Structures are given as structure tokens and as C-alpha cells.
Structure 1
Amino acid sequence: MARGNPNAIALGPGKLYIAVLGTPEPADLTTPWESVSANWVPLGYTDEGSTFNYSVDSESVEVAEELDPVAVALTSREGSVSFALAEMTAKNMQRALNGGSIVAGTGIVTFEPPDLGEEVRVMLGWESEDGEERWVYRKALQTGGLEINRRKGAEKAVIPCEFKLEKPSAAKLFKVIFDEARAA
């Protein structure tokens, strides 16, 4: 007798996408992201895939007459998506620094970061390697520090990113689409 569903085990780094706020979201697992909207752009290679974090903070409600809390009150929650972009490009620098300007010249491209207050929020998307899972993060701002290490040998320079999720107007923080076989 099987103890679980081996078809529900998720493997691989998947594929990351980025889009401007308000971009239409995928409604299924089969329509390519770029067909849902041309605004969905693949982020390319990452160093070690991506990580989604979600946490809830709480406080216990205590009374003098009980040893145990009589209730638990939720006080905040936070979500984030982190990854390290492995492609050193002006576009990825712009994404990691929440905007800025890219100017193409003769044989060169320059990037300058945005001024404080000019940061741009984005949407993020993720799709599993097997195409049976999609995540849409509706509003995100890159808040992680930027530290680019240059080392000898095959150790590549990467652009670290940690996008914190913000509550979008009239929507939840994120949406997950699963294949129906993963309903249980």
C-alpha cells in the first residue's frame, strides 16, 4: 500500500518570470506565460533556484487565571521570494535595484540606479519543471542587499535578490495553480 503520492513530489528549480504590476495572470497550467501577456518575461538562469518564504507572527492572549493562553492573536505576516540571478546584465541590475535607467550606446550599455522614491514594484511568476504548478506573486519589491562577489576560477558572479511581497489592492498576496492530481 502506498504511503503517499509520488506524483506530487516537486523537483527542480523551475522557471522564474517578472512583469509590470497589473499584468494579466495565468488562469491555467498550459498557456505559455508570454501568451497570457507579453509583459511576462523570463528571468533566466539562477544560481540555485528560488525560495519562497511565508511567516506569520502571533502573540498569546493570557489571563491571570489560566496557565495556558486563552487565545492566539495573529499580529502580522510576511512573504518573500529570493533567488540569485546568474546572468550579469543591465536588465537584471535594473530588476535587482527596483528600476533605474538603461541607455544603449555605440557598443556599450550603461545602467544607473533609481533615485530614492522612484522604486518600481513588480509581479513575479514561477513555474515548476513538470508544468504542474504555477505561482503568481502579485506585488513585490526587491529589498535584499546587493553584494556581487568576483572570484577566481569557475565561481560565477551573481545578483542576489529578495523580493518582499506587498498587499496589492483588491487581491491576495499570491495565487498558486496546481494540476488537479495535486488537490489532495
Structure 2
Amino acid sequence: MARGKPEAIALGPGSLFIGVLATPEPMDLVTPWESVSPNWTGLGYTDEGSTLNYTVDSENVEVAEELDPIAVALVSREVTLDFALAQITATNLRVALNGGTITAGAGIVTFEPPDLGEELRVMLGWQSEDGTERWVFRKGLQVGNMEISRGKGASKATIGCSFKLERPSGAKLFKAMLAAPVRL
């Protein structure tokens, strides 16, 4: 007798996508992101995949007559998506620096960062390699330190990103789509 559902075990790093705010969202698990909207762009390779962090802060409601809290009040929530892009491109620099200007010329592409106050919020997407999960993060801003390290041998340069989610107008922070009945 099985103690769980082995088919519900999630493996692999998946693929990351980025889109401008209000880009149409996938409605299923099979339509390619770029077919949903040409505003979705794949971010390419990452160093070690991505990590979704969901943190809730709370405070106890206490009274003198009880030893235990009589309630727990939620006071804040923070959701971040962290990853290190393994492709050093002007497009990925634009992702890590919340915008900027890319100019392509004959045999060269240049990137210049945005001015303070001109940062762009974006949508992010993630899809599992086995096609059983898709996540849409509706509004995020890259708040992590951008650091590009160079080393010898097989040590590759990466662009670290930590996107903090913000509440989008009229919508929830994110949507997760999971294959049914496997992930019910």
C-alpha cells in the first residue's frame, strides 16, 4: 500500500520567463508561453534553478489572564523569487537592473542601466520540466544585489536576482497551476 503519491514528487529546475506588466497569463499547462503572448521571454539557463520564498510575520495577541496567546495576528507577508542567471547577455542585465537601454549595432550590443526612479516592474513565470506545474508571479521588482563573479577553470559568471513581489492592481500576488488529479 502506497503511503503517498510518487507521481506528485516534483523534480528539476524548470524554466523561467519574464513579461511586461499585464501580459496575458497562460490558462493551461501546455500552450507555450510565447504563444500565450509574445511579451513572455525565456530567461535561459540558471546556475542552480530558482527558489520561491514565502514568509509571513505574525504577532501574538496576549492578555494577562491567559498563559497562551488568545489569537495570532498576521502583520506582513513577503514573497521572493531568487535565481542566478547563467547567461551573460544585455537582456539579462536589463532583467537584473530593472530596465535600461539595449542598443544593437554592427557586431556589438550595448547596455546602459535605468536612471533612479525609472525601474520597471515585471511579471515572472516558471514552468516545470515535466509540464505538471506553472507559476505566474504578477508583479515583481528585482531587489537583490547584482554581483558578477569571474573565476578560473569551469567557474562560470552568473547574474544573481532576487525579485520581491508586490500586490498588483485587482489581482493576487501569484497563481499556481498544477496538473490534476496528480497534484490535487
Q: TM-score, normalised by structure 2?
A: 0.98
State the partner residue of 1:125. 125
State the partner residue of 1:110. 110
Per-residue displacement from partner, 1:4-55 (whole Å, max 9, x unpaired)? 0000000000010000000000011111111111111110000000000001
Distance 2:42 2:106 in 1: 26
Q: Which AA in structure 2 matches 1:101?
A: T
Distance 1:79 1:32 in 2: 26
State the partner residue of 2:153. 153
Distance 1:141 1:127 in 2: 20
Runs of 5+ unmatched residues, structure 1: none
- Show structure 1 runs of 4+ deviating over 4 A: none
Secondary structure of 2:139's counterpart equals strand
- Percent identity over the alignment is 71
Tell me, yes or no, if the aligned pair for 1:54 and 1:78 is still in contact at 8 Å: yes
State the partner residue of 2:28. 28
Distance 2:151 2:75 in 1: 43
Aligned length: 184
Tell me, yes or no, if the aligned pair for 1:8 and 1:181 is still in contact at 8 Å: no
Distance 1:8 1:60 in 2: 35
Secondary structure of 1:131's counterpart equals coil
Distance 1:138 1:77 in 2: 16
1:183 deviation in Å? Answer: 4.2
CA RMSD of aligned residues (A): 0.8
Q: TM-score, normalised by structure 1?
A: 0.98
State the partner residue of 1:60. 60
1:181 deviation in Å? Answer: 2.0
